[in-house]
Amino acid sequence: MTTPVLEIRNLHARIEDREILKGVNLVIPQGEVHAIMGRNGSGKSTLSYVLAGKEDYEITEGEILLNGESILEMEPAERAAAGIFLAFQYPIEIPGVATMTFLKAAINAQRKARGEGELSTPDFMRAVKEAGAQLNVDSAMLKRPLNVGFSGGEKKRAEIMQMALLKPALAVLDETDSGLDIDALQVVSKGVNALRDGKRSMLVITHYQRLLNHIVPDVVHVFSDGRIVESGDKDLALQLEAKGYADYDGQAA
């Protein structure tokens, strides 16, 4: 059996004195899209930050393996170069830095970290053009400072565009549907689906089933009080939508 792209074993994490992740176990094989659903405050976003290596969190127990290698000792930038991409729920503004500039800096930083040469300008432009077309990101938007004054839809499109250009092994999408109207949701979902190539794995975090109509997951996990309490196929998301999370509250306690 091939090594899964992501394997999380009994992961416990805390911020200051509060334990948020309380024994997460999760395996995502190559090419699969897994969804994590759960209430606000159940620890879903924490899981995404812990995967990306945000320093506010302390891992107290457990292991995270990316393609079989532990990433716990890796800095956020190293994890990015190793193939972890986090699409932020609230993308951050970088004033004065044109989106295009940022994209190029990110791509080349990762390439350099992997010992690859820099992308030539024509190759970069070609990649940007391709990714931009898919996500309705035009050259005017690329000249604007990253995320500054972007609408909710523009921010999410810019996130997915970065993902398309950075070609991660594992994409973590944190509440990508938040702040999107139905049209924007379709554009973003189309962009995400275009990146499902049978190799790339994804972890889609959401608390609405709606997104999963557009990005259809292979596996759905229910997250409650810091751990996965149930897993199933895409129909599990529909059940959750109908019945809510109340059934799982008892288990989590």
Partner 1 sequence: MADYDIPTLKEEIDRETVEQVLALDVDKYKYGFESDIESDVLPPGLTEETVRFISAKKEEPEWMLEWRLDAFRRFQTLEEPTWAKLHYPKIDLQQISFYAAPKSFKGPKSLDEVDPELLKTYAKLGIPLKEQAILAGVEGAAESVSTPFGANVAVDAVFDSVSVVTTFREELAKVGIIFCSISEAVREHPELVKQYLGTVVPVSDNYYATLNSAVFTDGSFVYIPKGVRCPMELSTYFRINEKNTGQFERTLIIADDDSYVSYLEGCTAPSRDENQLHAAVVELVALDNAEIKYSTVQNWYPGDKDGKGGIYNFVTKRGDCRGVNSHISWTQVETGSAITWKYPSCILRGDGSRGEFYSIAISNGYQQVDSGTKMIHLGKNTSSRIISKGIAAGFSDNTYRGQVSAHAKAKNARNFTQCDSLLIGDKCGAHTVPYIESRNGTAVFEHEATTSKISDDQMFYCLQRGLNEEEAVALIVNGFVRDVLQHLPMEFMVETQKLISISLEGSVG
Which residues contact partner 1 by CB under 8 A? 52-56, 75-77, 79-81, 85-86, 88, 91-98, 100-102, 104-110, 112-113, 118, 121, 124-125, 128-129, 132-133, 138-140, 142, 145, 162, 166
Identify the DSSP state of 226.
Answer: T
For the residues of 107-175, what is the DSSP string, one character each? Answer: HHHHHHHTTPPPPPHHHHHHHHHHHHHHTT--HHHHHSBTTTT--HHHHHHHHHHHHHHH--SEEEEES
Query: Are 200 and 169 a contacting pair, CB within 8 Å?
Result: yes
CB of 102 to partner 1, least distance (A): 7
Query: Which of 23/76 has CB closer to partner 1?
Result: 76
CB of 235 to partner 1, least distance (A): 33
> CA-CA distance, 143 to 208, in Å (whole number)?
33
Query: Which of 72/77 has CB closer to partner 1?
Result: 77
Query: Which of 90/232 has CB closer to partner 1?
Result: 90
CB of 32 to partner 1, least distance (A): 22
CB of 126 to partner 1, least distance (A): 9
List, in sequence order, every residue forming a beta bridge with 34; answer none if it has no partner: 203, 219
Query: Which of 58/75 has CB closer to partner 1?
Result: 75
